Chain A
């Protein structure tokens, strides 16, 4: 079953064609990588999928709902979460608060309930707290719940971003360079974590530069160059594709 379908997605910024008629489909439960040289339009693609930027043309369907033009908070509620290449935690909030603020889009009572503090609310709040701890355990941050998120070391901040994305209970997770700036040890831990997410039933799309990560965990790879999809296939197919080699290394003379 296809979870996500992107059709002819195009985004122009003035005269710049950031992405041009990109199309691909993502199977439920799979790991897809988006690769391409710098400036290929990978992050713009993520921005269009999450409603941060509106595409110039084209359509995105998620679970058979057309989500083009939806606002970001509605897309999150449908089940798409994302992380950023440069960390964007709520840095003046504790680790725990970062998780809790992300769970509220899943609670029935909404943002106003806490003012009245009824019994149902208290019960819900307790469930939220238990779940928040679970998410922190998943990424190994349960001992840092009360730490201000800004004081965490870099690798832990990256993992907290992922925990915060999970807290919105997504079916599809978009991870923008999850291993950027990590040492080999941290990178392999991150790969473990991504595989764990897949085991939990999450579908994952990665933007990644580290080819070891890309080839190691993805089932499907989409290659972008100057906004155009130049190839798609399994790691084995992509490795041998002459167009991809050319995009990365230049034409053979």
Chain B
């Protein structure tokens, strides 16, 4: 029972972590809470349905399912990244020097727009993710682990490791850290801030696309409003870990997933969503900057 719940928690937690990374990276660089980020995750799920439907229609899925899935992932990532890139350029960049409230309102506007845009084009009812493979897995001492769960855990872990390598080892990663620490100074050592911001949005959106697609495969149902609650949860995870901190988002996401799954099986499933926020409140009482966050220094 316990191990089973841990596996369930890691599955959901991996997804939360992937979305939380997008929140935390954008916050680290722009100090903006990108409320439209949950919608990118929702778009990822819908795009998955659309592309898989297309590949089924042209017969690619029956020819080779892994190839069709791989292409679906790649295309969803590309499209969601393009959405993220465009949102930043149109809704946030013009407000870069405005007061901090303006881009926040703009983000909420984008979120409402995207939800309604998907509702109008895709319909307000639930969409079913094509059932392409049997929900199989293996049993071990009375516990079942489905392959899709293993897949989600492995993909989340690999993506997080890749992101970590990218941030610490590559030139762009170093530039991103420099911009997060001091934008003006970064521009004065020759870093093009606009490029770095765009890359941040592209990477964050790509991760959200993967998360959305995996959740659609896991639950089998997609709805235009799924981005809202997932976004709130992932944002909670990011705050829990310390917003702006990349390891914090990873840890916060996984912690949140575990808390949800363990508490709903050991206490009561009815208040599943409440546990996440109780944990958040407790941690913010003890350490207001989050688990991995640094205490805010007042700039003099």
Q: Residues on A close to B: CB < 8 A? A: 50-52, 71-73, 76-77, 81-82, 84, 88-93, 97, 100-102, 104-107, 110-115, 164-165, 167-168
Contacts and interface: CB of A to CB of B under 8 A. Distances in A.
B47 interface: no
13 contacts: A76-B189, A88-B184, A88-B185, A90-B186, A93-B174, A93-B177, A93-B178, A104-B174, A105-B190, A111-B175, A114-B170, A114-B172, A115-B166
B171 A102 contact: no
Nearest to A167: B189
A112 B172 contact: yes
A91 B186 CA distance: 12
Contacts of A72: 184, 187-188
Interface in B158-195: 166, 169-172, 174-175, 177-178, 181-182, 184-193, 195
Classify the secondary structure of B's interface with A. helix
B171 A111 contact: yes
A90 B169 contact: no
Contact of B177 (A92, A111, A165): A92
Contact of B171 (A77, A82, A92, A114): A114
A71 B188 CA distance: 9
A106 B189 CA distance: 10
A82 B189 CA distance: 9
Contacts of A92: 177, 181
A111 B190 contact: no
Interface of B: 166, 169-172, 174-175, 177-178, 181-182, 184-193, 195-196
Nearest to B185: A88
A84 B185 contact: yes
A81 B181 contact: no
Given A90-B181, A101-B175, A115 B170 contact: yes
B188 A101 contact: no
Pick from A73, A88, A91 the residue with the most CB of B within 10 Å: A73
A91 B185 CA distance: 12
A168 B171 CA distance: 15
Contacts of B175: 101, 104, 111
Contacts of A50: 188
Given A72-B184, A90-B178, A90-B182, A101 B189 contact: yes
Which 5 pairs from chain A and chain B are nearest by CB?
Answer: A105-B190, A102-B189, A114-B170, A72-B187, A76-B190
Contacts of B182: 88, 90
A77 B190 contact: yes
Contacts of A76: 187-190
B298 to A, nearest CB: 14
B167 to A, nearest CB: 11
A113 B185 contact: no
Nearest to A174: B188
Given A81-B189, A114-B172, 14 more contacts: A71-B192, A73-B188, A76-B187, A90-B181, A90-B182, A92-B177, A93-B181, A101-B171, A101-B175, A104-B174, A104-B190, A111-B195, A115-B172, A164-B189
> Which of A52, A101, A165 has the largest number of chain B CB atoms within 10 A?
A101
A73 B191 contact: yes
Contacts of B177: 90, 92-93, 101
Contacts of B193: 73
A49 B214 CA distance: 50
B187 A71 contact: yes
Contacts of B186: 90, 101
